[in-house]
A and B are shown apart, each in its own frame.
Chain A
Amino acid sequence: RLRKWQRRIRVSNATERNLAFALSELDRMASALGLPRNVRETAAVVYRDAVDKNLIRGRSIEGVAAAALYAACRQCSVPRTLDEIAEVSRVSRKEIGRTYRFISRELGLKLLPTSPIDYVPRFCSGLNLKGEVQSRAVEILRQAGERELTSGRGPTGVAAAAIYISSILGGERRTQREVAEVAGVTEVTIRNRYKELAEKLDVEIIL
């Protein structure tokens, strides 16, 4: 019947319109965060999967888009914190986190907790630190992980402390304030993590 066709067309239009809006949102947020294309594409796949499983019901397109982008960053090993995603979204950090948990579970994303190591490249380039300093920071974090110095600590704080230490070891010292700035944590946090790493990893530093 004609009615049926009109309805299909209407639904189809709405669906396409919503998808187009979601994709433009993903692109807008990704651009604001300077994310590479593969992350945007991953986010688009996550979003489409969420739509296919009707996970949008009762949720805002923007919320799901933001959660999809957050998940995509983690899947691609270029994590952004919930706060960073929230900064370029109109949705609150709390809502993004809640939606992320939901789609993550429903889509079976099985994402492991974010590793501090994944933050090293971004933070180091933000501090103009060479690859050698970067490698040393990664090594410090690897050891820290083995010695249980990362349990319960914020990944960004631990990564920042490791970078602070490696920048000194590599003769390219960055102040706690500079590192804190790019890592988005306070100097107090860097100090606490740094003291812990320094004493438990016998990485003696002469200042």
Chain B
Amino acid sequence: MNEHKPEESLKIENIVASAKVTESLDLPSLASQLKDAEYNKKRFPGVVLRMQDPKIAALIFGSGKVVLTGAKSIDSLSRGLEILGDQLRALGIDIPENLTYKIQNIVTSADLGTPINLNKIAVGFNLDKIEYEPEQFPGLVYRLDDPKVVVLLFGSGKLIITGGKVPEDARRAVQRILSELSNLGLI
């Protein structure tokens, strides 16, 4: 399917973003009024709100700050924040109309289309940027400086790129890995 075009196999699997929706929130009342809200101050200081539409989980804090996770696209992330704003406004809370957010992390999957030998990569790549402990985890952990992301490489040729701030980071990471692998004759 994507065997010959790794770049076309790029798929955003999860986006984590933060935002500030207001100055302060009364979490106990929020938790009791919102249907899918969960709140255990002993367990975690924020309210956990699960949305179904764009399947997103929101962590709401007393400071008015929020964390959104689970979005599979920037568009659904935006919609999720809008929906959250509407739900809070429906409770009589003053929430600005144009909420802004900051993407903190994007998790992307990709496929090189060819199996790779992790042992050889572990020897050929810069040792201090790699961690490969098959006893612990089947993936090889490769930390890139530019783009500043962490890539998990699997023997199947599939990858997970995480730590990026923009979708482009994943594409550049795959591009860089492909050239490094070909330079070492490992692909």
Interface residues on B, range: 10 to 19
Chain A residues bordering chain B, tally (CB within 8 A) = 18
Is B134 a contact partner of A154 (Cβ separation < 8 A)? yes
Is B131 a contact partner of A101 (Cβ separation < 8 A)? yes
B115 at the interface (CB under 8 A from A): yes
B2 at the interface (CB under 8 A from A): no
Is B138 a contact partner of A105 (Cβ separation < 8 A)? no
**A-B contact count, CB below 8 Å?**
45
Is B119 a contact partner of A153 (Cβ separation < 8 A)? no
A113 neighbours in B (Cβ, 8 Å): 119, 122, 132-135
Is B128 a contact partner of A148 (Cβ separation < 8 A)? no
Chain A interface, DSSP helix/strand/loop, else mixed: loop
Is B154 a contact partner of A152 (Cβ separation < 8 A)? yes
Residues from 114 to 149 in B contacting A, C-beta threshold 8 Å: 115-119, 122-123, 127-128, 131-136, 138-139
CB-contact partner of A150 in B115, B119, B127, B139, under 8 A = B119
Complex Cα spacing A155 to B131, Å = 16
A147: nearest chain-B partner, CB-CB:
B117
B132 neighbours in A (Cβ, 8 Å): 113
Complex Cα spacing A146 to B75, Å = 46
A97 at the interface (CB under 8 A from B): yes
Is B117 a contact partner of A81 (Cβ separation < 8 A)? no
Name the 5 nearest CB pairs between A and B, nearest first.
Answer: A151-B155, A152-B138, A152-B155, A151-B118, A148-B117
A113-B122, A151-B118 known; 15 new pairs, CB 8 Å cut-off, are: A82-B135, A105-B128, A110-B127, A112-B123, A113-B119, A113-B132, A113-B134, A114-B134, A148-B115, A151-B117, A151-B155, A152-B138, A153-B138, A154-B134, A156-B135
Supply 9 A–B pairs (Cβ within 8 Å), ascending by A: A81-B135, A82-B135, A113-B119, A148-B117, A148-B155, A150-B134, A151-B117, A151-B119, A151-B155
